[in-house]
């Protein structure tokens, strides 16, 4: 399953799977059935195939809390933003986010009802401490926010952040930072402080800022209970959340069908017939577009097949992108619920006003074999004795850094548990093989995939984007240097000094202005010509839910937040659910 999480992986925010071993399926289904028997306990599935570990550190990109999109249950953002409605936000731990006239300062006014789960008040000083810790300790900056120009300051009710450059386009990123306890926060035991992005935080040590706290952990089930010190909203009807382990899409789907799950993020083939029709009164789904799914290239020679991949050549990457049949991926791999990407800028349909000349410039069914052959030869590649393209010119040698005669070969890896991505990579591989480009599809476990992405141990992966309504969020995710993003962006190690300058400029622009559009155009040009990641699909926000026990879900007619069980809006949704 895939999520556009709010963190940079993560972005929050798309979901899917494959099929399971029956033994694991039985375990998951039984656990879910037991959990759903309690009327106010909601059972959800946020990811499949992910091995549970007793680590709920919200600043750790490979903790269970992060990989299972559970962090926002315990650690809340300052402001809740609605990804489906540009410009719509809701007060949360903070009541306001106000930029100074130059955009270099932003002040949050704290909600006086905010507190830690142990009852200690959550103050403006606590929030200032966290931003200062994030700015000085890169391992904590899973949110990819820029460094402070000077330490954050606080009054009794406000926190002020100061940056070297304007941050108008970073409004959502700054307001979406999850608040967790750090050194200097009074009333928090040392063992519960988040001192780095690598420490282990067991469930029993979690002291959070959110409405739910993990109270039970096993390798098959994680349980959260209501935090009685939560005062931001009235007490919710949902008093707890159970998250069972599911090995695959099929396991989660069967649990949904039998009402062992209340909420999940599944791409269920033929969902109307296989799920909705089984109980039309209660079984529902809502799949709005969320983010751009891309084929993310590792352009570094340190990649597993860096000495053969040819992915260091932008022309080669461009040809790969243009050769892909996106319509086929949408219809087969995504079972018709994702739309093919249409813009090489990578921007989503909700951002179409900013696409400029890159609107509808991607061929939906891909280039013909003749077009691919012609482009490859023009870029300096010819067929070798195996019938695959190889470096054959000084131009290609210079662009790739590989010797003449090197056969271009690389692998796409994705979890076998993500049924859509796994099928997508197989379709891409098959197509490119017929175009004489040696690309292999390989399946890995979800945990191994997460680890490989974080350590750049891949040639190419299919991965969701950062989503959001502001193009800056997506461009930052694809282009920002790891040194300034806490390592949670630009997985493919693409380096471009102009892109870094333009990201700073776009962050400083007010959205909707002529300068904002001009800088979007320049970043779009980099995405289109350099292709650090090839846009594939507009990934849906997979949201499958049952109204058997709960009502009040996000729907097409009530778009009050991101609909799926991942990202910062999850607790906001849980606060709105009622007894069915």
pLDDT digits (tens, 9 = 90+) for 99-109: 999 999 999 99
Quick one: pLDDT at residue 15? Answer: 28
CATH 3.40.190.10 domain locations along the chain:
4-73+205-289+541-579
Residue with tokens 């033929």: 270
The whole-number average pLDDT for the span 431-452 is: 95
Across all residues in the chain, what is the average pLDDT? 90
Residue ranges, comma separated, of all CATH 3.10.105.10 domains in the chain are 291-540
- What is the CATH topology of the domain spanning 4-73+205-289+541-579? D-Maltodextrin-Binding Protein; domain 2 (3.40.190)
Tell me the CATH number for domain 291-540: 3.10.105.10
DSSP-based three-state secondary structure for 25: helix
**Span(s) in the chain for CATH 3.90.76.10:** 79-175
pLDDT reading at 37 higher than 70: no
Per-residue pLDDT reduced to its tens digit, 385-427 = 999 999 999 999 999 999 999 999 999 999 998 888 999 999 9
State the DSSP string of 125-172: HHHHHHHHHHHH-GGG-TT-PPPPSEEEEE-SSEEEEE-SS--GGGHH
Give the pLDDT band of residue 38 (cuts 50, 70, 90). Answer: low
Distances (CA, A) of 189 to 192, 194, 207, 214, 264: 6, 11, 9, 17, 35
Q: What is the pLDDT of residue 47?
A: 87
Contact predicate 36/241, CB 8 Å:
no
Least confident of 192-196, 289-293, 378-382: 289-293
Lowest mean pLDDT, pick from 11-15, 386-390, 494-498 = 11-15
**pLDDT over 90 percentage in the chain:** 77
pLDDT in tens, 290-309: 899 999 999 999 999 999 99
pLDDT of residue 484: 61
Residue 8 has pLDDT above 50, yes or no: no
Q: Is the pLDDT of residue 9 over 60?
A: no
pLDDT, position 483 = 66
Residues 6+ apart with CB under 8 A from 262: 36, 42, 43, 44, 545, 546, 548, 549, 550
pLDDT at 174: 96
pLDDT, tens digit (0-9, with 9 covering 90-100), for 80-127 = 999 888 889 999 999 999 999 999 999 999 999 999 999 999 999 999
Mean pLDDT value of segment 255-282 = 90
**pLDDT value, residue 23:** 27
pLDDT value of residue 232: 97
Cα gap 61→28, rounded to integer Å: 25
Parallel/antiparallel/unpaired status of strands 89-91 and 11-12: unpaired
Neighbours of 126 (CB within 10 A): 25
**Residue 83 to residues 77, 341, 467, 468, 559, Cα–Cα distance (Å):** 14, 19, 8, 5, 9
Joined together, the tokens standing for residue 184 give 């200097």
Q: What is the pLDDT of residues 118-174, one digit of tens each?
A: 999 999 999 999 999 999 998 999 888 889 999 999 999 999 999 999 999 999 999
| pLDDT above 90: residue 270 | no
pLDDT at residue 14 greater than cutoff 60: no
The fold adopted by the segment(s) 79-175 is Dipeptide-binding Protein; domain 1 (3.90.76)
Percent share of the chain, pLDDT over 70: 92
Instruction: Tell me which residue of 209, 199, 198, 57 sits closest to 126, measured CA to CA.
Output: 209
């Amino acid at each position: 399953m895939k999520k556009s999480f709010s963190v940079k992986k993560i972005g929050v925010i798309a979901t899917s799977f494959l099929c399971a071993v029956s033994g694991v399926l039985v375990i998951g289904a039984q656990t879910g059935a037991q959990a759903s028997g309690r009327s106010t306990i909601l059972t959800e599935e946020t990811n499949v195939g992910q091995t549970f570990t007793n680590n709920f550190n919200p600043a750790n990109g490979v903790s269970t809390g992060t990989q299972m999109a559970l962090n926002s249950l315990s650690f809340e953002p300052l402001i809740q933003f609605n990804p489906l409605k540009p410009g719509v936000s809701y007060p949360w731990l903070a009541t306001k986010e106000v930029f100074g006239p130059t955009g270099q300062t932003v002040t949050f006014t704290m909600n006086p009802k905010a507190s830690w789960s142990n009852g200690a008040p959550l103050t403006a000083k606590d929030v200032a401490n966290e931003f200062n810790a994030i700015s000085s300790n890169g391992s904590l900056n899973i949110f990819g926010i820029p460094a402070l120009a000077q330490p954050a300051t606080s009054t009794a009710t406000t926190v002020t952040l100061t940056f070297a450059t304007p941050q108008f386009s970073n409004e959502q990123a700054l307001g979406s930072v999850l608040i967790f306890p750090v050194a200097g926060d009074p009333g928090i035991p040392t063992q519960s402080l988040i001192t780095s992005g690598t420490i282990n935080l067991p469930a029993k040590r979690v002291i959070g800022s959110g409405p739910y706290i993990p109270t039970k952990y096993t390798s098959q089930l994680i349980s959260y209970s209501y935090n009685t010190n939560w005062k931001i909203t009235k007490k919710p009807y949902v008093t707890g959340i159970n998250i069972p382990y599911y090995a695959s899409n099929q396991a989660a789907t069967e649990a949904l069908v039998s009402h062992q799950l209340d909420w999940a993020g599944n791409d269920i083939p033929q969902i109307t017939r296989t799920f909705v029709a089984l109980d039309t009164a209660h079984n529902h789904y809502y799949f709005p577009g969320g983010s751009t799914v891309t084929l993310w290239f590792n352009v570094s020679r340190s990649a597993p097949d860096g000495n053969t991949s040819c992915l260091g050549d932008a022309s080669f990457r461009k040809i790969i992108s243009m050769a892909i049949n996106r319509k086929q991926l949408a219809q087969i791999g995504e079972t018709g619920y994702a739309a093919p990407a249409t813009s090489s800028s990578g921007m989503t349909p909700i951002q179409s006003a900013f696409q400029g000349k890159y609107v509808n410039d991607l061929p939906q069914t891909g280039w013909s074999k003749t077009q691919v052959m012609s482009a490859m030869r023009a870029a300096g590649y010819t067929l070798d004795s195996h019938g695959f393209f190889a470096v054959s010119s000084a131009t290609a040698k210079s662009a790739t850094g590989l010797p003449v005669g090197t056969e271009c070969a690389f692998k796409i890896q994705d979890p076998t548990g993500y049924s859509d991505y796994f099928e997508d990579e197989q379709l891409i591989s098959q197509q490119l093989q017929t175009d004489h480009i040696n690309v292999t599809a390989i399946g890995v476990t979800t945990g191994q995939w997460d680890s490989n992405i974080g350590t750049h141990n891949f040639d190419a992966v299919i991965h969701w984007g950062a989503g959001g309504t502001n193009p800056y969020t997506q461009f930052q995710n694809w282009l920002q240097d790891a040194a300034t993003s806490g390592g949670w962006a630009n997985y493919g190690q693409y380096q471009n000094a102009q892109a870094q300058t333009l990201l700073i400029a776009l962050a400083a622009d007010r959205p909707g202005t002529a300068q904002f559009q001009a800088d979007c155009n320049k970043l779009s040009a980099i995405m289109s010509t350099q292709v650090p990641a090839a846009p594939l699909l507009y990934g849906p926000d997979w949201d499958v839910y049952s109204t058997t026990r709960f009502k009040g879900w996000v729907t097409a007619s009530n778009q009050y937040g991101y609909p799926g069980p991942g990202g910062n809006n999850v607790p906001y949704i849980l606060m709105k659910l009622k007894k069915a």
